[in-house]
Amino acid sequence: MENGIDVERVAGGIDVLTLRGEHDLSTATDVSRRIESALESATGLAIDLSETTFIDSAVLRVLITAQERAAERGAGFAIAVADSSGHGVHRLLTLTGLDAKLATRSSREDAIAAAAPA
């Protein structure tokens, strides 16, 4: 799968950031920048990992920061971790206990719905 970071604005002013393929230290700064700029104007942010085949702790750190920043700005936030997400994505979230701390949903659609500001 081609690696990529896409951001799309959907209904209600919510930005959906899709991470395709593998992400690690070599793309973490890009991911972080795209998140920061999305949060400048979006009412909510959904991060879609359903097409993500790999993430490491450098990316996980960016996701945690994203959730904190969204909360600070009163923006909604959710992450989609689906059956189609890579084994390693599930494994890292379980090992670190972040499956319980990050606002995860099991599909892109559910994450977008959950990213509407409260």
Partner 1 sequence: MVTVSERVEIEIAAAAPGVPLVRHALRGLLSGLDVSDEVIADIALAVTEACTNAVVHAYPNGAAGTITITASHVGGGLSVTVRDRGRGMSARVDTPGLGVGLPVIAAIAQSVEIGSPDGGGTEMRMRFALDGPAG
Positions that interact with partner 1 (CB under 8 A): 22, 24-26, 28, 54, 56-58, 60-61, 64, 86-88, 91-92, 95-98, 101
Query: How near is the Cβ of 118 to partner 1 at its closest, in Å?
Result: 24
Strands 52-55 and 44-48: unpaired
Residue 31 near residue 62 (C-beta atoms within 8 A): yes
13 vs 88, beta carbon nearer partner 1: 88
40 vs 87, beta carbon nearer partner 1: 87
20 vs 116, beta carbon nearer partner 1: 20
Query: How near is the Cβ of 49 to partner 1 at its closest, in Å?
Result: 14
Query: How near is the Cβ of 37 to partner 1 at its closest, in Å?
Result: 21
22 vs 110, beta carbon nearer partner 1: 22
Query: How near is the Cβ of 91 to partner 1 at its closest, in Å?
Result: 6
Give DSSP secondary structure letters for the chain.
---EEEEEEEGGGEEEEEEEEEESHHHHHHHHHHHHHHHHH-SEEEEE-TTEEEE-HHHHHHHHHHHHHHHHTT-EEEEE--TTS-HHHHHHHHHHTHHHHS-EESSHHHHHHHTS--
